[in-house]
Copies of this chain bind each other. A is one copy, B any other.
């Protein structure tokens, strides 16, 4: 079973103050990149959102004319928050652990997952679930913390002497970090692991983005400049091929 850090009271409280929660998608700097990987038209699409949190992407998909949206998250608190928004009959929220969830087969046109898969230990299993849940020609778009960012054996290197900003890259597996709270477990997956896994699952990888601010944005923020040194997010678009 996956760690459910989002239901920890202090973590949840901190998380609710992040721009991605106070401003929604407009507070998520990588959203324009993520959006650009999704199909341009969502009209009448069946959509699956893995790690939907407070439902920002689900509501956006509804606004784009999607037929039905299933949002899945492990966190009761996040789903409660999602349900506090005005209800839309096209959106269904489901509490489930991505380590063990069983998805409906041949159902969705688009599966998406925003910054959730680095919490998943058994990536091959969820990839297979997503692949089976998509119709032929369906699209899977996900973002994940960048391998450069998840690699270090000591993720809080910038707060400690002797810690290295990048080590242990080739060692896939769990890293325990302090992000909003102590003891948050994230899983490091190398680039090769992610790409070979998509291929082995049957997906065709169509596009990759490594999110960092634009050169223009960097002028406005020193903190952002560091994100061009080490991109924080990795985004991928893969397609379940049509059987000819």
Contacts and interface: CB of A to CB of B under 8 A. Distances in A.
Interface of A: 148, 164-171, 190-192, 195-196, 199, 204-210, 212, 228-231, 244
B195 A230 contact: no
A210 B191 contact: yes
A208 B231 contact: no
Number of copies of this chain in the oligomer? 2
Contacts of A207: 195-196, 199
A32 B95 CA distance: 45
Contacts of A210: 169-170, 190-192
A191 B195 CA distance: 11
A93 to B, nearest CB: 32
Given A208-B191, A208-B195, A148 B166 contact: yes
A148 B190 CA distance: 12
B231 A170 contact: yes
A228 B169 contact: yes
Nearest to A227: B170
A231 B169 contact: yes
Contact of A171 (B148, B167, B228, B244): B228
Contacts of A192: 208-210
Given A164-B165, A169-B229, A170-B210, 10 more contacts: A165-B166, A166-B229, A170-B229, A171-B228, A191-B191, A192-B210, A195-B208, A196-B208, A199-B207, A204-B204
B165 A229 contact: no
> 4 tightest A-B contacts by CB?
A167-B229, A170-B212, A192-B208, A170-B228
